[in-house]
């Protein structure tokens, strides 16, 4: 059985565009990349850092389960050099960050995985690129479109289209 999922990809260390593109290559071994948003230049969210982020959202078609996909994403992050030195819930600079935003219309809430991603509603750096490729996608938890969730967002962080 094939599933459609949306994934956020972000980086704020080193060559951020190349980091994202390298992650795309790894993800391409797990799933068919159906769509890719534009790259967005964004300020750090949840902490202060001198280095801004590049963020992008992918639409994937995969036969992998959500938990297996999360496991594979953690392996990709580790392979690319991401460290997990802080406590859970604390944010820090990262070479790559892969988050499952939506997986079909699944609602999952356990210790290892929450889908829809619980903080996507407060993150314009996710909502803006997601609304570019899936504005009419209905969140199964909020029963609202991504575009409506973006319009209602209280996040005032800067999210700009990346230009080379």
Taking alpha carbons only, the member of 38, 44, 33, 31 closest to residue 72 is: 31
pLDDT tens, residue by residue, 37-70: 999 998 876 656 668 899 999 999 999 999 999 9
The number of distinct structural domains making up the chain is 1
Domain that holds residue 98: 3-161
Q: Residue 86 sits in a domain of what CATH number?
A: 3.30.70.560
Q: Which among 112, 119, 107 is positioned nearest to 143, based on CA atoms? A: 107
| pTM over cut 0.85 | yes
- Whether the CB-CB separation of 56 and 162 falls below 8 Å is answered with no
Tens-of-pLDDT digits for all 164 residues of the chain? 899 999 999 999 999 999 999 999 999 999 999 999 999 998 876 656 668 899 999 999 999 999 999 999 999 999 998 765 554 445 556 789 999 999 999 999 998 899 999 999 999 999 999 999 999 999 999 999 999 999 999 998 889 999 87
């Amino acid at each position: 059985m094939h599933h459609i999922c949306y994934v956020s990809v972000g980086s704020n260390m080193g060559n951020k565009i190349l980091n994202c593109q390298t992650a795309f290559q790894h993800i391409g071994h797990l799933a068919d990349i159906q769509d890719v948003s534009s790259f967005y230049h964004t300020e750090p969210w949840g902490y202060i850092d001198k280095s801004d982020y590049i963020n992008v959202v992918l639409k994937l078609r995969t036969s992998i389960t959500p938990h297996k996909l999360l496991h594979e994403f953690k392996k990709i992050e580790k392979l690319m050099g991401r460290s997990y030195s802080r406590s859970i819930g604390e944010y820090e600079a990262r070479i790559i960050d892969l988050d499952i935003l939506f997986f079909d219309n699944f609602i999952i809430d356990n210790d290892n995985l929450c889908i829809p991603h619980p903080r996507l509603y407060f993150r314009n750096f996710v909502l803006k690129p997601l609304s570019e490729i899936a504005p009419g996608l209905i969140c199964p938890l909020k029963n609202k479109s991504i575009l409506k969730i973006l319009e209602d967002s209280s996040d005032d962080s800067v999210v700009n289209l990346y230009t080379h």
